[in-house]
Chain A
Amino acid sequence: MDASRRPEAETVLRLSGITKRFGSLVANDAISLTLKRGEVVALLGENGAGKTTLMNILFGHYTADEGEIEAFGTPLPPGDPHAALAAGIGMVHQHFTLADQMTVLENIVLGTRPIWSLNLGKANARVRIRTLASDYGLEVDPDRMISDLSVGERQRVEILKALYREARILILDEPTAVLTPMETEALFATLKKLVAAGLSVIFISHKLGEVQSVADRVVVLRGGKLAGERVTDQATRRELAELMVGGQLPVNEVGPASPGEVLFELKNVSTRGLGGSALRNISMQLRGGEITGLAGISGNGQAALAALIAGTLEARDGDIVVHGQKASRWSPRAALANGLGRIPEDRHATGMIGDMSVAENVISEAYRSPRFSRLGFLDWKAAVRFADDIIKAYDVKCPSPEARVRLLSGGNMQKLILGRALDGDPDVILASQPTRGLDVGAVAYVHARLIEARDRGAAVLLISEDLDEIQVLSDRILVIHRGHLSEPSSRGELTVMELGELMAGHGIEEGASDAA
């Protein structure tokens, strides 16, 4: 733990001058990094800062254009994941690499024995796995099927897999993104045991709070460059944030809400599943002048709820009530006609048509109106004018309204979507993961617009997996677990831990038994 105060600890990993270019983009620019025995180093940076690229180079998935890697004093051949494994480097990816239809034990042993050996040495393996699990607080039954495990348990299996292969250096890529607050605490406890046993950990994150609670040292990347390096105890949160962002952290003031009447309502709605859980008999009310935040761990029905409200997923049961009127047939067009503004979860797949121009994209929800077409012919001049308006009003960086949307950055694409969704001041706004993958400046911008919409009286539903975001913006919080909703709580009523309990399903109808 206290490697920083024990300068005699041996250096187990040394990256020197790593540079990686993708075309004209320099993803890593001469980055150097050392890791000592028994140390947790956090790699902090925004999306696109180059954290994952750097770790992929270390692990041999990419080959660096320049620079060298040394593990335990021996140079590591570039571009060879097997060499990285053999040198004792283990990586836990953001997206797990487990075979669903095999047991925990089989997944862990997979690849460690020749495939033609009849006896996988299961008995020995089971004993070793149990020992590792109890030593490091990674309890999981070796004989359970991966498909039966929760996300947190799967992550434990990934860590066990690395430990089973005698990893001495463990790399965790955004490990808390999929965890509840309690699971995060448990993970941190595990990491402490691991470093106490002499392992070293690189912890990739963009969340300041967790970096401060788990890391001995913080290495900050910004725009592919090394922005700074600090001993955690000697750095303030603000200092780290400014290193990460490269300037002042923008802050939004969220004033008190003045809730009005119910503008949008779901009554006992059920759907089929969509990228996770289905919705099971849920009801919710959205009031004007209020932001309702929907928290939950990824895959618990958020996608289905967003698609249902947006009109792309049909309800099997139940009613959608807009402005007090029951909607007879719900579709994207009906949603638009009823004054909904919609920000979809995936801006590339659902939000924008990458190979069409900015102008063509911004009119996609309104092209049938007399504003943009007459007698079946489009008015391109009006479309370009509208695009210009959005570009100006939302400060979109793009070469021209004729530019293909594919060329824009994620933040600029999201601003276009905002402009399109908020055009005509909709009074119900669905914002599904509106800031995922955006840099801090763009996040603040999106938040400001949502608050602005609330303050002019719109009902906003914010669906997010980022609990911080939910807590900052929401006047009322709902938690979703396996397709069921919790009772609403008002701002500040529940602590992070209490919300975490709900996210794990404790206290949500039928959820508690599922999660046991």
Chain B
Amino acid sequence: MRLEPRATPSAAATILWPAAAIGATIVFSSLLVMIAGASPFTVFFLVFKGAAGSQFALVETLTRATPLIFTGLAVAVAFRARLWNIGAEAQLYLGAVMTVVLGTGAVTLPSAGLIPLIMLAAMLTGALALLGPAILKTRFGVDEVVTTLLLNFIILLFVSMLLEGILKDPMGLGWPQSKRVIAEAQLPRLIQGKRLHFGFILAIVSAIIVWVIMKKTVLGYEMRAVGHNAEAARFAGIPVNRVIAKTALLSGGLAALAGFSEVAGLKGNLTLDLSPGYGYTGIVVAMLALLNPLGVIAAAIFVAGIFVGADAMSRSANVPSYIAEVMVATSLLTMVTAIMLMRYRVRWR
């Protein structure tokens, strides 16, 4: 078996292959649903209904999509420059830590001043957390997959230590949780009485800004050049190491915004279960979006919808909500395969 590159993927191929990927995902998930003893049609209908079938469902899906847009952008930006940031989870938690450090009363300012201040501080923390691995990569050739992945565990334990120590809420009945952020530090709700908050708007705006950066600016050009061919970029005089450092700052900052938005917009305080792996799911989101910043919005809503819908479905049908994880994972694998088939032709000898 040999792969031969295609000159240009035809327009039909760019639509058909991803469509085939979604089809394959549905077929594979259907098999699992049937093994679980339910009808695939009912289950998929219930998943869809649970994700988008009512105002409540839709609001839940968008709320869940918000942190995924941020982490998806973080990963998309980094991967575009071939900086393999697997540490969005840690950067998210550091952003959340900074939010409770500044937002629980240490600084008192009106919302218009406090919220931007916290955002900037959170972004800076996440940015610096990725700058370390980026410098180790450019200076000493240390693999950033290893360093960013392992940093996740270190930083999570560090956060746990903070929550058992100086950040622990004295009124928290001994639970490892922080104090609640003050009213001025909270992001407003978009709909009265619903969980959807201003963080969603911030996420959309961030996606647009990142798209502009990648498409229109010198920095975006440099990042793409470094990602596609670092040797040629260096030859042309593009400062490769500096570009990787800037990419790290941007990516880490975006991931930290996910933590900020979850604490200031939704949860109100920091606990160790703030993120059910949003940092890792961000990788899936970015890949599904083919690293396109605007595509990240759609991919995040799609993935969030499957999780939210599967939760609702498992309450009425007798199928575990883990089917959501399988569906998301399968869709990633089929999508990656589809992209490969879009770009290469398979020859059997």
Contacts and interface: CB of A to CB of B under 8 A. Distances in A.
Bind each other: yes
Interface of A: 22-23, 63, 79, 310-312, 331-333, 335-336, 342, 344, 349-356, 360, 364-365, 367-368, 373, 376-378, 380, 404, 407
13 contacts: A311-B237, A332-B234, A332-B235, A332-B236, A336-B237, A349-B231, A353-B228, A353-B233, A364-B236, A367-B218, A376-B218, A377-B216, A407-B7
Interface stretch (B63-71, B171-179, B219-227): B219-227
Interface in B308-349: 345, 349
A79 B349 contact: yes
A350 B218 contact: no
A355 B236 contact: no
Given A354-B228, A354-B229, A407-B7, A373 B236 contact: no
Interface residues of B, number: 24
Contact of B4 (A22, A350, A373, A407): A22
B229 A355 contact: yes
Contacts of B238: 364
Contact of B229 (A335, A353, A377): A353
What are the 10 closest A-B residue pairs judged by CB atoms, nearest first? A364-B236, A332-B237, A333-B237, A353-B229, A355-B228, A350-B235, A353-B228, A353-B232, A365-B236, A376-B218
A341 to B, nearest CB: 12
A509 B234 CA distance: 34
Given A335-B237, A344-B235, A373-B218, 6 more contacts: A23-B6, A349-B232, A356-B225, A364-B233, A367-B218, A404-B8
- From B218, B229, B237, B239, residue with most partner A Cβ within 10 Å: B237
B10 interface: no
Contacts of A310: 235
Contacts of A79: 349
A487 B8 CA distance: 50
Nearest to B238: A364
Given A367-B221, A368-B218, A378-B216, A407 B8 contact: yes
Contacts of B232: 349-353, 364
A467 to B, nearest CB: 27
B111 interface: no
A380 to B, nearest CB: 8
Contacts of B7: 23, 407
B210 to A, nearest CB: 15
Contacts of A407: 7-8
Contacts of A373: 218
A335 B237 CA distance: 9
B14 interface: no
Interface in B1-48: 4, 6-8
B108 interface: no
A354 B232 CA distance: 10
Contacts of B228: 353-356
Nearest to A350: B235
- From B6, B233, B236, B349, residue with most partner A Cβ within 10 Å: B236
Contacts of B234: 312, 332
Nearest to A24: B7
A351 B217 contact: no
Contacts of A353: 225, 228-229, 232-233
A373 B228 CA distance: 21
- From B229, B233, B349, residue with most partner A Cβ within 10 Å: B229
Contacts of A351: 232, 235
A306 to B, nearest CB: 10
A198 B65 CA distance: 77
Contacts of B229: 349, 352-355
A178 B345 CA distance: 35
A347 B234 CA distance: 14
A247 to B, nearest CB: 27
- From A22, A332, A380, A407, residue with most partner B Cβ within 10 Å: A332
A335 B234 CA distance: 12
B221 A365 contact: no
B236 A356 contact: no
A377 B236 contact: no
A365 B225 contact: no
Contacts of B345: 23
A63 B225 contact: no
Nearest to A374: B218
A378 B221 contact: yes
Contacts of A342: 235
Interface in B215-272: 216-219, 221, 224-225, 228-229, 231-239
Contacts of B239: 333
B224 A377 contact: no
Contacts of B219: 376
A329 to B, nearest CB: 13
B69 to A, nearest CB: 24
Interface string B115-141: 000000000000000000000000000
A344 B236 CA distance: 10
Contacts of B349: 63, 79
B223 to A, nearest CB: 12
